[in-house]
Structure formats: structure tokens, C-alpha cells
Amino acid sequence: MSEPTAHKSIQSFYEAINRRDLNAAMEWIDPQCSYEDLNFSQPFRGKEAVRQLLEESCKGIPNELQFVIDELTTGDCLAVGVLWHVELDGIPFPNGRGVSFYRFSEVTGKMVNGRDLVEPPIKPGKASFFIIRLVSPLVRRLLKHQHHKTPQKKSPSERPTGKSRSFLPLIFWLIASAYIYILLLSPPGQLVPGEPAWAIRPETIQEILNESLNFFLVLPLLNLAGLHYIEAPTVHPILEALFNFAEAWIFMFLPLLLADRSTAHLPKILIWSMAMFGTNAVLTPYMALRYSAPIPPALEELDKGGLASIFGWIGLSVGIIALIWGFVGRPEFGDLAERMKYLGERLMTDRVTLAFCVDLVLFSLFQALLLRGVNSRIGWGRFVPFWGLAVWLIV
């Protein structure tokens, strides 16, 4: 390739893709090609892996969906950058823009490296800066930890395999971004009721502080037993129950995280400690990192030990007490019907209450996935929210 022909090769490559002529497209792929689509956690290495990627991307897509090159670099005979967008019947496809870079072999004249970056479907805007600042300390710690680890050759069973995991990190990062933006950062009334973290009212801050002081209902129960050395703040029992039930659940996640081999390289106690305060703003990124890691070899379930049983009994006890407290605690707040009405009103007006309910839904999903990951023989019990985890820890 003595002449600057890389851009002509890429034009031919795109034309073949638009015709859905995979054999013609593969003529431009070097046997040693490494192709990165940043929607996937791992690059596709080798000609056969690239073919599978192209086949998957073309499967079921209408022929009217075409890649249109907007700009193309022409000054390098071995490398080319492309700005492109996707059109359907000549109409630009929503969130269908991208940028790609390709490098060609000096020996074979075929593509040896490719990288695609596609426009994200969710655009957090300035919230992305907040998210970066939020996760940077954790990412820095993870990178330092990985840098000092001695590299070891992985067995075939440890390498990422299958397409089922390839999209899961993206899904969990999208869930994390949506959770942080919608529940913590979105302007008042834009998507959910209530005020965001950057405009939170003093009375909301005081309410959160009061709930935290009543952590695990220790102070309210001591006061109920006649011990008044420290008076518990008065909070609606429904809010106390919701807060403490969620905290009891995430409390029980520590032994589960420690037993998860997929994330042996992560600082799990630190992550769990942060999740006790930040719940799914922390736990959802953990799940994304988990499914970005290589699949560990199949081993027998670890002995959970006495720690798991202790966490299970504490979490189960607090959870049950929290539910009972929500129904009958502080009788001055009315009967069950009045309390349920109050909960419904809070869900329609208060973002913190809504966030805790979303947390419970996500905890159910993560519990089922993690229990399956640490014990392949576990049955339907993993799908029972809260109690399924408590039983696994205790039994």
C-alpha cells in the first residue's frame, strides 16, 4: 500500500456492509484483526470473531438501514478515521451517529485494527461531569489495584465467552446513569416529583438525617422499652420502615459480594460501605464491572462461614421489625389504611421515598443474579426478594 488507499478500502468495506455482502466485507479483514466495538466489553480478535460481529449486527436489520460516511481522512495510507451516521430510507436514524478509526497492515493491506464509538442513547449532559467526579476515586483505586497485580495466564474457562455477557455491562451502566440522573440530578418535575440533590430542601435534609439517626430502629425501640438516654427523632413509621428495610437488605449483601468470584479484584468492603449510604448509585456500577470481568472457572460453592449467618440473622430481624413498625409503630400516625394512603402520597411528591422503592426493585434483581453467580445449584429461592437472601445466608 504505497499510495494513500486506506480510505478507498474503507469506502469499499462500508459499501459491502450496506449491501449486506459479508463475504465482500471480510475481504478487507486481516486474519490477525482486532476489532473493538465499544458497546462490548472485549475486542473481537481474529477474522472469525469479526465475521460473527458483522453477522450479528446485520441480522434482522432492514436493507433500507444504511451507513452514510460524513467525513473521511485521506492523508495516511495505513490509517483512516471516519465520521458516519445511519439513515433509514434516507432519513437520519435517531442516536445513529458514530466515529470509527481503522488501521491497515503494511504487509497484507487489510484491516488489522478497528474501533467503533457509537452515539449513546442516553445523554446525561452536564450530569456526566458529576458522575465522573463521583466514580473517579473508585476507578482510580481499581486501576491501581489491577496495575500492581501480577499478570497470570488465563485458562480458557476464565476468558469471556458467549454473547449473553457482552451487552450486560452496557445495560447496567445505562441503569446506573438513569438512576443517578433521574433520581438524583434531574430538575424538579422533569421526570419525577420532588427536588434533586443539588436543590434539596432543608426539611428534606433534616428528614434524611432523622431516618439515619433511627438506623436499624435502635433508638425508637430503646425509647419504646423505656430507655430515654437519647430521644429518637419523630419520623413517620412508614418512612422509618422503608429506610430500615432497605438498609437491612443491603446490609446482607456483604457476604454475598465477598463470595462473588467474578469480582475478586474489586475492593468489596469499600463498595459495600459506600452502598450502605448510596445504595444503587454504587451497587449498579458494581454489577456493570462484574459483567465486564472474565467469567471465572466453575468451582464448588465457598463455605459462607459464621459471618454470613450473623449478617443473615441481623438483616432478617431488622427487616421483619421494620415491616411490623411500619404497620403498627407510633400509633398516633393512624391505622394501616391511613399509612398506605400516606405512602401513596409520598411516592407522588417525594423523590427520596420513590428512590427507596426503586432500590427495592433493583435489589431483587441483583440478589437473583448474584446468588446464581455464587451457587449454580441454587433454585427458585433466589427470586424471593429479601427472604431468599436471608435464608441463603443462614442455612
User: Residue 161's pLDDT is what?
Assistant: 43
The answer to whether 26 touches 44, Cβ cutoff 8 Å, is no
The reply to whether 207 falls in a domain is: yes
Q: DSSP secondary structure string, 56-84?
A: HHHTT--TTEEEEEEEE--S-SSEEEEEE
Residue 380: which of 368, 362, 390 has the closest Cα? 368
Same domain, 105 and 204: no
Same domain, 86 and 206: no
Residue 355: which of 223, 255, 208, 165 has the closest Cα? 208
The reply to whether 177 falls in a domain is: no
Same domain, 62 and 210: no
Whether 185 shows a pLDDT value over 50: the answer reads: yes
Higher pLDDT, 177 or 57: 177
Same domain, 67 and 204: no
Q: Which among 118, 143, 174 is the end of a domain?
A: 118
The reply to whether 254 falls in a domain is: yes
Over residues 208-215, mean pLDDT: 93
Residue 365: which of 142, 131, 168 has the closest Cα? 168
Q: Could you list the residue range(s) of the whole structural domain that residue 389 is in? A: 199-394
The reply to whether 186 falls in a domain is: no
Same domain, 231 and 345: yes
Same domain, 104 and 244: no
The reply to whether 130 falls in a domain is: no
Over residues 174-193, mean pLDDT: 90
Grid-cell match 452514510, residue found? 68
Find the angle CA(44)-CA(49)-CA(53) to the nearest 5 degrees. 80
Same domain, 78 and 203: no
Give start and end residues of each alpha helix (H) in the chain.
6-19, 22-26, 47-58, 127-147, 168-179, 202-213, 218-224, 237-251, 253-258, 268-278, 280-292, 305-328, 336-349, 351-374, 387-394
The answer to whether 64 touches 88, Cβ cutoff 8 Å, is yes
pLDDT tens figures, 227-240: 988 999 999 999 99
Total count of domains within the chain: 2
Same domain, 341 and 239: yes
Q: What is the pTM of this model?
A: 0.60
Strand order in the sheet with 79-88: 44-45, 29-37, 111-118, 91-104, 79-88, 65-72
Q: Which among 88, 118, 148 is the end of a domain?
A: 118
Q: Which among 65, 97, 118 is the end of a domain?
A: 118
The reply to whether 194 falls in a domain is: no
Q: What is the mean pLDDT of the chain?
A: 85
Whether 378 shows a pLDDT value over 70: the answer reads: yes
Which of 153-167, 286-300, 306-320, 369-383 reaches the highest mean pLDDT? 306-320
- How many whole angstroms from its chain centre is CA 38? 16
Higher pLDDT, 158 or 63: 63
The reply to whether 382 falls in a domain is: yes
Same domain, 95 and 224: no
pLDDT tens figures, 297-332: 555 555 666 788 999 999 999 999 999 999 999 999
The reply to whether 176 falls in a domain is: no
Residue 245: which of 113, 363, 108 has the closest Cα? 363
Residue 73, domain CATH? 3.10.450.50
- Three-state DSSP at 362 gives helix
User: Residue 266's pLDDT is what?
Assistant: 87
The answer to whether 214 touches 220, Cβ cutoff 8 Å, is yes
Grid-cell match 463475504, residue found? 23
Residue 135's pLDDT band (cuts 50, 70, 90)? low
Distances from the Cα of 122 to the Cαs of 41, 175, 202, 326, in angstroms? 18, 10, 31, 37
pLDDT tens figures, 26-62: 999 999 999 998 877 788 999 999 999 898 888 777 8
Over residues 190-198, mean pLDDT: 87
